[in-house]
Amino acid sequence: MQNRTEEKLLIPEYQILCVASWLLVITFLQFSLYPLLKKILLQYAFPAAFAASLLIFTFLTWYCGLARIPVQLAIVPFILLFVYNLYRREYVFSEIKKEWHWELIFLIFFFLMLTVRFVNPTISYAEKFMDHAFLASIMRSPVVPPLDPWFAGGTMDVYYYLGYWIFGCLGIVSGVPSSVAFNLSLPTVLGVAAVTVYAIGTLLLDRFRWLPLLIFFIPNPSFFYQIIMGKGLNSVLWDSTRTITNTINEYPLFSFTWGDLHAHVISIFNQVFLIFLLLYLCKYWESLKSREKWIMCGLAALSLGSMPLINTWDVLIYAPITIVIATLIILGCRKRGQNISSWGHLIAIPPVSILIYLPFYLTLQTSTGGIGIVKTPSDPFQFLLVNGWFIAIFLLLLIKDIRRRPYLLLIAVPFILAGYTAAAIAAIPLIYFIAKKERCIPDLLAIFGLLILILVELFYLKDNMGDTYFRMNTVFKCYLPAWIILGTSASVMVGAWLARPGRIPVIPVKKSAVLAIFVIGILFVTPFVVPLDLNYGSRSLDGLAYIDTTHPGDAGGVAYLRNLTGDERIVEAVGGDYTYYSRISSFTGIPTIIGEPFHEFMWRGDTTGWYSTRPADIKSIYEDPDQTVVLMKKYNATLLYVGDVERETYNVSLPSTGLEPVYSGQGTDIYRIAG
C-alpha cells in the first residue's frame, strides 16, 4: 500500500492543477450566466454573476442529490446556456474587456486567502475536523440529506449543511480531492464576497468605492486594546474575539485567518450578495421592466432561501430585512399611484424562498429551545471594544443632528434604568437615523445593524450550551452579520463624506495604481511574515499533508480508506470534542459509530440514550472479542480501525475469527467483517 508521501497530492504541480481546475469551473459557471444578467444589471452583471451562478449551481446539484442522480449533471444547463450565448454572440470581446477589473478583484482576494491557507492548511484544530468531515462525506456520497460522518446511520438533517454541499460539489465537478478542496473553499468565499462588496461600493459611491472592502481587513477595537495591555501577538487575535464575557465576537479578519470552513464564514458571500440585490432593487426598481423584476426577485428569493441551509441564523436577520426593504419599495410605489402589478414581484420573494428548498424543511429534524430574555447583558466597555468603530463613526457623522435635537438622547434612559447600558449606546445613533426626514440607503443599513446589536442585548435563542454560555451562540452568529451590515454602512458614509468638495482631491490613475499595487503586495507578503501557522504550517494546499510526519501510522491508513468507494461504516476510538479523536471519520468522510459526542448532542439531543450507549458499545467492540462482530453488525459497521489512538484508549482484544485484515502499516491495522 502506498504511503501518503508517495501520493500525487503532495506534488506541487498537482496542487497547481487543482487550483486551475477549481477556478476553471467557477469561471465557466459565472461566464455562462453573465449574459443573462447583462441587460438587467448592466455594469453590475459581471460581479453579480459570481454569487448568482454559485447559488444556481448549488440549487441544481442539491436536487440531483435529492433525486439520487449524479451531481455532475448540474453542469449541463450551464453548458447549454454557454452554447446558447455563443450562438447569440453574447460574448463580445470589447465588452468583456471592460469587466477585467471585476475579475481582478476576485482573483486578488482569492489568491490572498489562498496564500493564508497555503501557510496554514492543516485540518487539525478548532472546527476543522467537523468542517472537513462534512465536506468529505458529501464528496464520498453526494445524496440529500447527506450522511452524518459522526453518527453512523444518521444524516445531516439535524444541521445546516448547504455550505459544505456547495464546495463538495465543486470538488466533485472539478476533480479536486476533499483535503485540497477544503483549502480552496475559503478563498472562493472571500473572492466572491469581495467582488460583491466592491459592487456595493460602486452602487453607492462615486469615489472611494473600495472602502467597503475594509470590512474584511479591520480588526475590532479589542484587538488594539489587547496589544496595549501587553498581550502577545499569538493570543491577541483570539482574545479579541472573546471580549464580551462568555460569548464569541468574531469579525471577518479573524474568521478568515483562523481558517475554519464553518457555516458562519461560508455564508458571508451569500449575505453580501443579498445585501447587493436589495440595495439594487431600492435604487433601480422603477426602471426595471416586469421580466427584469421577476429575475431580480427570483435571485433574491434564491439567496434568501439558501440561508437556512447554509447558516440558519442568517435567515432570522435577513428575512426581516428583506421584508422591510420590500415594504419600503411598495410604499413608495403606492405613494406614486402605481398598481399592484408594479410591486407584486416583491411579495413573491418570501414564499418562493421557502418553496425552492421545501424538501429541506420537510426532512429537518432539529429544533430550537425558544427565545429567552438576557438577564446578564454585555458590559458597556466590552461592547464598545467590539462595536466601537461603527458607533464612533455614526455619532461623529450625526453630531449636527444631535446638537439640533438633543432631547432624542433620552432614548437611552429606559435602557440604562433596565440595566441594558450597551443597548442604550446602540440606541442613540439608531434613534437619530430613524428620526431623519430623508434617509439614504446607508442610513437604512445602519438602522438594521444597530437593531441587531440591541436585540441581541435583550434576547437570545435557547440551546444546549448551559447557563454560563447561554447567549454565546446568539451573539456569535448575529455579530458577524451585524459587522458586515454596520461596516458596509459606515464605510459608505465615510466614503461619501471624504468625497465632498475640498476634502480629498482626486488622485491620478497612475498614482492610484502604484499605491494599489504596493498595498496588495504588502497583503500577499503578510502571511509569510506574521506567524499564522500556529505551529501546524506545512506549506501545502493539502490539509492532510501534516499527518505524514505527525501521525505516520494514520497517514497510510487514511490514504487506504480515502480510496475506498461504496457504503462503508467504520469503528474508531471515541473521545473528547476538539481533540485528535474522530480523526478517521473526519479525514475520510466514512461514517463512524459516534464522532465528537458533544457536537452530536447539540444537534440531536439524547432522547434515545445514544450518548452513553454508543461510546460503551465502541469500548466493547475493542475490548470484548465476543461482542466485536455482534456490535459492529448492530451499527452496520464494515471496517474496524486500530491505530495508536485506539491502543492508547482501549485494551484492544479482537476475535480470532469474523474479521479479515485489509491493511497494515506503521502500527495501524484495518479489518473488514468477514463475508
Q: What is the pLDDT of residues 368-389, one digit of tens each?
A: 678 999 999 999 999 999 999 9
Mean pLDDT of 195-215: 95
Q: Residue 340 — very low, low, confident or very high, per pLDDT cuts 50/70/90?
A: low
pLDDT for 182 beyond 90: yes
Q: Residue 122 — very low, low, confident or very high, per pLDDT cuts 50/70/90?
A: very high
566-594: per-residue pLDDT in tens?
999 999 999 989 999 999 999 999 999 99
Identify the weakest region by mean pLDDT among 127-141, 206-220, 232-246, 295-309.
232-246
CB 536 within 8 A of CB 124: yes
Farthest-apart Cα atoms in the chain, separation: 87
CA angle 480, 483, 487 (to 5 degrees): 155
Between helix 472-498 and helix 380-397 the angle, nearest 10°, is 20
**Phi-psi label, residue 286: left if phi above 0, alpha if psi -120 to 50, beta otherwise:** alpha
- The per-residue pLDDT of the chain, averaged, comes to 92
Mean pLDDT of 283-297: 91
Q: For 220, what's the count of Cα atoms within 13 Å in the CB-facing half-sphere?
A: 33
- Whole-angstrom distance, CA of residue 166 vs CA of residue 58: 5
All residues at 6 or more sequence positions from 92 whose CB lies less than 8 Å from its CB, including other chains: none
User: pTM of the predicted model, to two decimals?
Assistant: 0.94
User: In this predicted structure, what is the pLDDT of residue 244?
Assistant: 96
User: In this predicted structure, what is the pLDDT of residue 5?
Assistant: 38
- Whole-angstrom distance, CA of residue 485 vs CA of residue 272: 9
Mean pLDDT of 594-612: 90
pLDDT for 293 beyond 80: yes
User: In this predicted structure, what is the pLDDT of residue 333?
Assistant: 78
- Whole-angstrom distance, CA of residue 18 vs CA of residue 533: 22
Q: Residue 232 — very low, low, confident or very high, per pLDDT cuts 50/70/90?
A: confident
User: In this predicted structure, what is the pLDDT of residue 516?
Assistant: 79
User: In this predicted structure, what is the pLDDT of residue 537?
Assistant: 59
ω into 146 cis (within 30 of 0): no
pLDDT for 533 beyond 60: no
CA angle 479, 480, 483 (to 5 degrees): 85
Q: Distance from first CA to last CA of the chain, Å, rounded?
A: 22
pLDDT for 522 beyond 90: no
User: In this predicted structure, what is the pLDDT of residue 413?
Assistant: 96
Higher pLDDT, 287 or 558: 558
CB 531 within 8 A of CB 233: yes
CB 46 within 8 A of CB 34: yes
Between helix 178-204 and helix 12-41 the angle, nearest 10°, is 30
Query: Which DSSP string do the residues of 306-342 spell out, in sequence order?
Result: HHHHHHHHHHHHHHHHHHHHHHHHHHHHHHTT--GGG
619-651: per-residue pLDDT in tens?
999 999 999 999 999 999 999 999 999 999 999
Identify the weakest region by mean pLDDT among 119-128, 304-313, 445-454.
119-128
Cell 480552496 appears where? 184
